[in-house]
Structure 1
Amino acid sequence: MRIKTIEEYHQAYQESVKDPETFWAGIAQEFQWKKPWTKVLDWNFEDYQVKWFRNGKLNITENCLDRHAASKPNHPAIIWEPNDPEDEPEIITYKILLDRVCRFANVLKKHGVSKGDRVCIYMPMIPELAVAVLACARIGAIHSVIFGGFSAHSISDRINDSQCELVITTDGSIRGSKHIPMKDTVDDALIACPTVKKVIVATHTRTPVSMIKGRDFWWESEIKKVEAECPAEEMDAEDPLFILYTSGSTGKPKGVVHTCGGYMVYTSYTFENVFQYNPGDVFFCTADVGWITGHSYLVYGPLLSGAISVMFEGVPTYPDAGRLWDIVARHKVNILYTAPTAIRSLMGFGLEYVQDKDLSSLKVLGSVGEPINEEAWYWYHEHIGKGKCPIVDTWWQTETGGIMISPLAGITPTKPSFATLPLPGVQLALVDENGTVIEGNSVSGNLCITFPWPSIIRTTWGDHERCKSTYFSTYPGRYFTGDGCLRDKDGYYRITGRVDDVINVSGHRIGTAEVENAINSHTGVVESAVVGYPHDVKGQGVHAFVILEEDQEANSMMKRDILMTVSRIIGPIAKPDKIQFVKGLPKTRSGKIMRRILRKIAEGEFNSLGDTSTLLDPSVVEEIVEGSKNLD
């Protein structure tokens, strides 16, 4: 399973392209299956149907937990690092984790949850979050984890889309010095969620909360009423494992569905190969489990591989900007996987928080969420890796389930800001706007994938047509990533950014339409348009162009009100960094907003706006340019 040289990589890649079914069957045989598959792969990109390991039966938690609890019961599975550095970390072994998962799985069953039911999880980064995820998988329930920073409105949208019947949350959470009332937010969301029958609440911050008789139950009380034995539900390889909502180019978030068998095989394979994981290594992924990175490379990937996974409740800058490096030193972390946003933020604090830290245990560094810029790459390499640690700059998406393009640590020669080469099984194509494949090197185009891999998105929950139209209609017969990409003279790939109406803020994809809908819901707003622009820390910032009602004043109070509206409807992560009040928007005669022009203005490229003569009112552009130049 482990590739150990660049020659082995090229050989594995060729085998995976020449005979994908034999290649992936060989990988899959390393896991425990209740019943073998009858066919490795059925697929059709035209109608979009993909099935891996047909008729194979398994339970992913037996591969994450049971086999390791049997062979190494006292081996650490999760090291939990609390928000406050003065609090003691918690080390959870595979045996203890299996016990906790089985107990909570029995709690879920006691409350009527069964195979195929959807369960919403809205929790901070505490061990109970991982336990809840795995307990759902244990009994065949489909988990839908919602990032703890989302608003009540965003939670209710997701619950109603997936028709969840049970919600798991906590009384509150702490991130840095900020206290967040998790249960209160859930209560607000559930006003509009008629399908939810039960809420299970874990005690974490001792925050006073409302508990409604017959609906709300304390986690701690419920686990005392059940046994620690829970047989793993037999699942088909193509049964849904989880739904994870991601922003799209329309206002409604889409529920990406991943299934049990292919996701298991691919996340484990990529985890071990990209990071070159060795037994006993301590792996620290800083991502929240509310995002796909936390699903694949904090919970499932590491546990499938019997790894030690560090889970961190807090933020990199609390109580100071040395917190991540303190965690590395405290737990002798060998592999650190974090976001370019975090790296750029910590760079801004200077070297005083790094220079006295013991980072000698580090062997591999990783970045995720967006392409890492060269300045951050060199800082990460020199000051964190001390020039000795390879950096794996990983490219992938919620929809891909696992890493698609990346160096293999210490094996693939790297270049700053290049994701380098596709992993085995990943067949790439660069195409032009007409869908024509661009051959050769030193070229750029739109990034597509021409053949399915085991963890490819299967559908969008409740709306398969949306899945087909979003990913497979732009370039028929190919999966369109939505990203632009260049391939250099050596055949290395570099992601150049989104080419659709999605903004990548701190590694998190936010649909422009979703933000526009939130802004437009403000009582004083007529219309808005949102675009991304380069941001020194976040990678991309959000620039909103807003038209107000005639009787509304374009002042700082109005800006604050709009920010509060966006925060309330979506969450603080989607708040615009810049709000520019305008009299009009650049539109074609058919009424389409020319976001291309707005992007150029937001980027400060006022002299390269292109032809504006075909606009309904070209003078609008001049006004917006002048306003942007004077924007604070």
Structure 2
Amino acid sequence: MERYGEVQAGSKYEAVYKESIENPSAFWGREAERLAWFKRWDTVLDDSNPPFYRWFVGGELNTCYNAVDVHVENGRADQAALIYDSPVTDTVTSFTYGELQGQVAKLAGALKSMGVEKGDTVVIYMPMIPEAAMAMLACARLGAIHSVVFGGFAARELAVRIDDAKPKAILSASCGIEVKKVIPYKPLLDEAIRQAAHKPEKCLILQRPQATAELTPGRDLDWREAVEGAEPAECVPVQATDPLYILYTSGTTGMPKGVVRDNGGHAVALRWTMKHIYGIEPGQVFWAASDVGWVVGHSYIVYGPLLTGATTILYEGKPIGTPDPGAFWRVISQHKVKALFCAPTAFRAIKREDPQGEYYKKYDLTGFETLFLAGERTDPDTYHWASDLLGVPVIDHWWQTETGWAITGNFRGLEFFPIKPGSAGKPMPGYNVKILNPDNGRELGPGQSGVIAVKLPLPPGTLPTLWKNDTRFKESYMDIYPGYYFTGDGGHMDDEGYVYVMGRVDDVINVAGHRLSTGDMEEVLARHPDVAECAVLGAADDLKGQVPIGFVVLKAGVSRDPQEIVKELIQMVRQDVGPIACFKSAVVVDRLPKTRSGKILRGTMRKIADGEQYRVPSTIDDPVILDEIKQAVARMGYGRRAS
């Protein structure tokens, strides 16, 4: 492994990237040889029906076999596959590949006895416990299509997903645990099934010690009883183009979009990323501090590490409060984690509670080599804080639920090139990234801001379509700029090929005819020594169309007058962005509204600022925060259009 800062950009990345774009069939076909196939593919890339591209057509494999069984057969039966670390229940448990194979095969047998077959759908509504990962693998083992819904989602949102996925069975648990609060899941599940038009035939319920669920006779089965009495199921061959899972992501219409992931391309791409992006080899420990309900949990808690033969960590806890800001350092030290992947918001939370890194000093992190950040833009201030504290590369990389793996980033197993704070790195192999003029779709040059798009075809592992909705797939992603995948994000690329992602296209505001990035202004605010995190959004203005307003959360222990800090922030934006930004309003708040995965709900905040009706997002971490934002907006003189 190259050490931090020693390797310069050069021919290795360029050669790999060039081949992936110019000859994708040769590039990805070679990578596919690393997997175990029941039947070799006929065609690596079928591009006969754009934009519906298909990878490894004619090939047959099983994702669970490649993630579990193949390692048992190749001598890794006694190696740790999954470590469950749960500070909220004071539990640490490890499962070897042999143990994981046994439990997954039995669970798949239980599903089979419930009537689940190849091609059926199964909804998984579970907390961060080992059985959630086992449920995903058991579905894959049978060739069933799983759809994980974040545990604790509101009944109405779960009902919408049940009606869209039409599952034969639902797998759930009696409860989840949020820090010290027990969240019963069964009442939410029962209400969702009541609301849904589609009714699952069976529900498999895992009883946790913290809460006991009342089972519905005739429909519900006790998880442990069903698994103990089941015959282990073998892996079922599926087509490479068959769906592995459906994962719902928010849509602009309010109806979620069911992103489909195939089996073949997904396995090939994730195996490649673990070695080349994350620098993880078989037997090494990788930790994605996410949730199985999100795409990061699918790709890098479950499938990516296991396809590689690595050890993955499933963490039921928070970066702070379980029990303190040293939680992440404890996990890294205790389990000898080589690389950590989490959202920038986690590090902003740690920085806010422990700005001097005192908790970090308590642990031995000598084996820790890289921090990867994604899920939202990494502001330079957070980058520098983490980089200075850890003394290892801090890599921002950018991707989406739709893509399943990184669009841009850096490499710890291919070639590590210099980091530019504020940039999400260079395009990944297979992603022909372009910056387009938003008005006419023409490609723009270095330094010019526009819409970030990817020239088709997309690489393997990305979405081939939406679940039973080819029309919406085309309308949402492919028809906006024909020949390109529309990412919905804006930004620019510099003359060295580094991509700067400045936020969703609707986060570019128009102030008196001037297109300004709220991301640029957030960078300025984040540099203030008293600011822990911030958000800037555009509020409707009768004179200028839009004006930027800021929300800032201060670091722990700051006792200065908030109004003085706001004055300094306004002056900083005026100096660094210019008077043209018209940044004159900001307010200090205790916290920002976020999704459970840590993304700031800028769209909802914008509607509050404009006085528009809004829908409380199903993914929100704490709805009460929206009332606090309303009050903050009112103090700035906005939000009065609401009825």
TM-score normalised over the length of structure 1: 0.81
Instruction: Give the equivalent residue in structure 2 for 1:609.
Output: none
Deviation at 1:208, TM superposition (A): 2.7
Aligned to 1:221: 225
Corresponding residue for 2:600? 540
Which of residues 351, 367, 380 is equivalent to 1:361? 367
Number of paired residues? 547
Distance 2:441 2:126 in 1: 45
Q: 2:418 aligns with which of 413, 423, 430?
A: 413
Match of 2:453 in 1: 448
Is 2:631 the counterpart of 1:626?
Answer: no
Residues 1:394 and 1:546: Cα distance change in structure 2 (over 3 Å): closer
1:309 aligns with 2:371: no
After TM superposition, list the pairs within 5 Å mapping 1:605-616 onto structure 2: none
Contact 1:281 1:335 (C-alpha < 8 Å) held by counterparts: no
Whether 1:336 and 2:336 are equivalent positions in the alignment is no
Which range is displaced more, 282-291 or 324-333? 324-333
| Aligned partners of 2:152 and 2:185 also within 8 Å | no
8 Å Cα contact 1:534/1:540 also seen in 2: no
Asked if 1 retains the 8 angstrom alpha-carbon contact of 2:435 and 2:452, the reply is: yes
Q: How far apart, in 2, do the equivalents of 1:312 and 1:378 lie?
A: 26
C-alpha contact (below 8 Å) 1:257/1:460 kept by paired residues: yes
Cα distance between partner residues in 2 of 1:405 and 1:177: 37
Query: Which residue of 1 is the match for residue 156 of structure 2?
Result: 153
Of the candidates 310, 319, 325, which is equivalent to residue 323 of structure 2? 319
Amino acid at match of 2:171: I
Question: 1:479: how far off?
Answer: 0.5
Deviations 1:417-468 (A, max 9, x none): 2111111111111101234333432222101111221112112112110010
Aligned residue for 1:239?
A: 242
Shift of 1:624: 11
Shift of 1:566: 3.2
Find the aligned partners of 1:459 and 1:348 in 2 and give their Cα distance.
40
Instruction: State how 1:243-392 maps to structure 2 within 5 Å.
Output: 243-317=246-320, 318-350=322-354, 351-383=357-389, 385=390, 387=391, 389-392=392-395
Match of 1:431 in 2: 436
Q: Counterpart amino acid of 2:383? A: W
> Which amino acid in 1 is paired with 2:182?
H
Task: Pick closer, same or farther for the CA change 1:501–1:122 going to 2, 3 Å.
Answer: farther
Q: In the alignment, is the contact (CA less than 8 A) between 2:119 and 2:143 conserved in 1?
A: yes
| CA distance in 2: counterparts of 1:77 and 1:160, whole angstroms | 34
Q: Secondary structure at the match of 1:157?
A: helix
Distance 1:469 1:576, change over 3 A: farther
**2-structure distance, mates of 1:573, 1:456:** 31
- Measured after TM superposition, the shift of residue 628 of structure 1 is 5.7
Q: Aligned AA for 1:577?
A: L
In the other structure, the counterpart of 2:28 is 24
Cα deviation for residue 278 of structure 1 reads 2.8
Which residue of structure 1 lines up, in the alignment, with residue 545 of structure 2?
Answer: none
Q: Does 1:491 align with 2:551?
A: no
Tell me if the contact between 1:543 and 1:579 (Cα under 8 Å) persists in the aligned partners: no
TM superposition shift of 1:576: 5.8
| AA aligned opposite 1:428 | V
1:432/1:544 CA distance change after superposition, 3 Å: closer
Q: Deviations over 1:44-99 (max 9, x none)?
A: 675x21111111011011110111011211011111101337x3411111111011
Alignment gaps of 5+ in structure 1: 505-511, 513-530, 549-553, 583-600, 603-622
How far apart in 2 are the matches of 1:280 and 1:413?
Answer: 28
SS of residue in 1 equivalent to 2:40: coil
Scaled by the length of structure 2, the TM-score of the pair is 0.80
Counterpart residue type for residue 500 of structure 2: R
Are positions 1:180 and 2:183 aligned together?
yes
Aligned-partner Cα distance in 2 for 1:547–1:22 = 51
Q: 3-state DSSP class of the match of 1:173?
A: strand
How far apart in 2 are the matches of 1:314 and 1:26? 39
Q: Distance in 2 between matches of 1:326 and 1:155?
A: 34
Structure 2 residue identity aligned to 1:429? K
Q: Matched residue of 1:290: which SS? A: coil
Question: Within 2, Cα distance between the matches of 1:442 and 1:39?
Answer: 39
Which ranges in structure 2 are unaligned for 5 or more consecutive residues? 509-517, 520-536, 538-547, 554-591
